[in-house]
């Protein structure tokens, strides 16, 4: 709830990354730091990398703070799938988004 309120108050912004970008970021992080990040944590890493690349393009220096909140030791199958090329970039259609929202608006108890 707190994160949603921060987003609503425009104190933070939300970013979305596809799963291929996320796992690529996780691999880069593991190669640089020796820690395999959990896929959930790799979303933040993908954003940090995107921000660093933006800074490089713009020729500016900024401090980028990253919170790693989980290791990927239990997610090795997902990394195996990534390396084997078994992951595909998936983007939700507007129809899928609307169907999910409709489910959220449906009472659990009729």
Digit-coded pLDDT (tens) for 16-33: 899 999 999 999 999 999
SS3 14: coil
44 and 67 Cβ atoms separated by less than 8 Å: yes
Parse the chain into domains and list their residue ranges: 12-104
Q: What is the CATH number of domain 12-104?
A: 3.40.50.1100
- Blockwise average pLDDT, block size 10, the chain, 110 residues: 89 90 94 91 94 96 88 76 86 89 75
Residue 46 has a pLDDT of: 97
Q: Quote the pTM value.
A: 0.69
* Four-residue CA torsion sign, 51, 53, 57, 62: positive
Q: Supply the pLDDT for residue 52.
A: 96
């Amino acid at each position: 709830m707190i994160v949603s309120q921060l987003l609503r108050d425009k104190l933070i912004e939300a970013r979305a990354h596809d799963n291929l970008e996320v796992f690529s970021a996780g691999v880069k992080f593991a190669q640089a730091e020796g820690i395999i990040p959990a896929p959930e944590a790799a979303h933040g890493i993908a954003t940090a990398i995107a921000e660093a690349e933006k800074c490089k393009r713009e020729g500016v220096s900024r401090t980028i703070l990253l919170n790693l909140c989980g290791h990927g030791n239990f997610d090795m199958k997902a990394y195996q799938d990534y390396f084997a090329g078994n992951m595909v970039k998936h983007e939700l259609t507007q129809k899928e988004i609307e169907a999910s929202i409709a489910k959220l608006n449906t009472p659990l108890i009729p």
